[in-house]
A and B are shown apart, each in its own frame.
Chain A
Amino acid sequence: DVKVTQSSRYLVKRTGEKVFLECVQDMDHENMFWYRQDPGLGLRLIYFSYDVKMKEKGDIPEGYSVSREKKERFSLILESASTNQTSMYLCASSFRGLAKKDEQFFGPGTRLTVL
């Protein structure tokens, strides 16, 4: 069974704080993703990584950065948290091959509140 874990289920931070969200997958997937989920907007891609030390901007990268130093781990960083970054953050991973190439496996999510 594929397992994607996220470091925290709930997090409360203050405006201006630096925030780290960690994600680990155990299936040797090449691709890893960070999304945020907001009501009515679905899942929006923040950043994507297809290999160690590689990253690609998604649809809403502003205010975020990422780090992928090891294949199994993908970190999302909020350099200076703001109230409009209050959201549910979801990490996902997938194979890069052709078979079921687009099926992504998600972690349970981190509910971040910025006060």
Chain B
Amino acid sequence: DQQVKQNSPSLSVQEGRISILNCDYTNSMFDYFLWYKKYPAEGPTFLISISSIKDKNEDGRFTVFLNKSAKHLSLHIVPSQPGDSAVYFCAASSNAGNMLTFGGGTRLMVKP
């Protein structure tokens, strides 16, 4: 049973518009959430994170929102650029250790 789910396998957005990627989790012990970005033939790279004591974290064009009651987080990219086209993975961890549980990924395509 997947504890972290990304229900949209793919998303297509026009350049300059907002991209919203969603992630749901079931384990209430998760207290730290991360987004990774992966280009083909490369390993994932860390993008942005959020602790459960916050509901929003912003870094340039990237903002992550956390709704603990709904066990839902989202990544907003504004404005979207063609170079943002990649697979995005949501990940979560608990205080119990340093292991991450990953979602299945969402492939974002930003059209020029």
Report the stretch among B14-22, B43-51, B58-66, B72-80 that lies at the interface: B43-51
Interface residue from B41, B49, B89, B99 paired with A42 (Cβ < 8 Å): B89
Interface pair A43/B43, CB less than 8 Å apart: no
Interface pair A106/B44, CB less than 8 Å apart: yes
Q: Is A61 an interface residue (CB 8 A)?
A: no
Minimum CB distance partner of A100 in chain B: B49
Minimum CB distance partner of B31 in chain A: A102
For the complex, give the distance between the alpha carbons of A104 and B100 in Å.
Answer: 9
Interface size on A, residues (CB 8 A): 28
Q: Measured between C-beta atoms, what is the minimum distance from B2 to chain A in Å? A: 8
Interface pair B100/A42, CB less than 8 Å apart: no
Interface pair A42/B93, CB less than 8 Å apart: no
Interface pair B98/A102, CB less than 8 Å apart: yes
Q: Is A48 an interface residue (CB 8 A)?
A: yes
B interface list, Cβ under 8 A from A: 4, 6, 9, 32, 34, 36, 41-46, 49, 89, 91, 93, 98-105
